[in-house]
Amino acid sequence: MASAPAPGTNAASDTNPAIGASDSKPKMFDKEGAVGKQFTEQGAIGGMGQSIGGPLDKEGVIGKQFTTEGAIGGTVESMMGGQKPK
């Protein structure tokens, strides 16, 4: 017979220390969020720009605007990015 966890404990957090009350996940438009990660060089949109190269490369005239330090990517990151509590 399996023993039940002691009252006041959480079995999930006992076995997985990554889960806790202070954990948060990235917002959708954060560079690690569902939409934002698509614009990184590993994402679908950013990766296509990387493969085309030239001005669309992450260091090109157009591509660098979409990084977290660029005019477009930086604005989106600061306005809609960040972390949200789970």
In a domain, 16, yes or no: no
Within 4-70, where are the H helices?
Answer: 11-15, 44-52
Number of independent structural domains in the chain: 1
Domain assignment of residue 1, yes or no: no
Left, alpha or beta for 12 (phi > 0: left; psi -120 to 50: alpha)? alpha
pTM, whole model, 2 decimals?
Answer: 0.59
Residue 28 CA, chain-centre distance (Å), reads 7
Whether 54 is in a domain gets the answer: yes
Looking at residue 63, the DSSP 8-state letter turns out to be G
The answer to whether residue 65 is domain-embedded is yes
Residue 15 within any structural domain of the chain: no
pLDDT digits 0-9 by tens, 8-34? 555 554 555 555 555 788 888 888 889
Look up the domain containing 41 and give its range. Answer: 24-85
Q: What is the pLDDT at residue 56? A: 92
Mean pLDDT (the chain) is 79
3-state secondary structure of 84: strand
Q: By three-state DSSP, how is residue 74 classified?
A: helix
47: in domain: yes
